[in-house]
Each structure stands twice: as structure tokens, then as C-alpha cells.
Amino acid sequence: MTRHHTGEDDLAFPYLAGRFPELRPVLTELRRDHDIVAGIMRALQDLLVGLTVDPDPAGRRRVRAELDGLAALLESHFGYEEKRLVSALNALEAPRWEAAPPDFLLTSPDPDPGP
């Protein structure tokens, strides 16, 4: 998730902002979501570390609540992103990305380049 959002923030969104200036407020809002997601992920990590030390039922409930919040935010984020950016993305031609996709578009951290 971090790699994907960092790639969007550092590469895709600046490019889209340059090509489609009217999307700048949307991109700012999406970046804000990325920051919130990162905060939730840090909180989850801390909670999970705490559960390994003390497997308290209240801690498990807090993990569940954080996961529920993360799921709701991501569902909203992805729907908004798709609705607001799909036309701009469909208008782009990125042959370099088709030949060699940037890291944030890859589905696994270590793609197998093959023989």
C-alpha cells in the first residue's frame, strides 16, 4: 500500500496535475487520504506488536476497529479516485509504462523478470 500511494503521490499525481490542472483539488484530497491510511497502518502495526506482548481482548477489539475504519476509508477512496480520475487516465498514453511499469503499478514487490 505504501509503495502504491508513494508512487501516486510522487509520480502519477504530479503528472496528472500538469496535464489536467482542474484535477488538482481532487489530487490534494487523494493525497490527504493517503496520509490518513498511512496513519492507520502505523496504528495497526503498533496495536499488533502490543498484542504479541499482551494478547488482551480489548486490544483485539481495537485492531478490529482500526481494520474496519481502514476498509471503509479505502472503499470510499478507491471509488472516489476511480470516479474522478478515470476519464483523465483513459486519455493518457503511456507507452513507457506499458513496456516497463513503474514500481507502484507492480502487484508484487519482487517481480520475476523471467529468463
The letter for the amino acid at 16 is L
Give the 3-state secondary structure percentages of the chain, helix then strand then coil, rounded to 5: 80, 0, 20
58-83: pLDDT as tens digits = 878 888 899 999 999 999 999 999 99
Q: Terminal CA-to-CA distance of the chain, rounded, Å? A: 28
Integer CA distances (angstroms), 28 to 7, 16, 89, in order: 15, 12, 17
Classify residue 54 as left (phi > 0), alpha (psi -120 to 50) or beta: beta
On the question of pLDDT at 10 being above 80, the answer is yes
Q: Where are the domains of the chain?
A: 1-9+24-86
pLDDT the model gives residue 11: 87
23-54: pLDDT as tens digits = 999 999 999 999 999 999 999 998 888 877 76
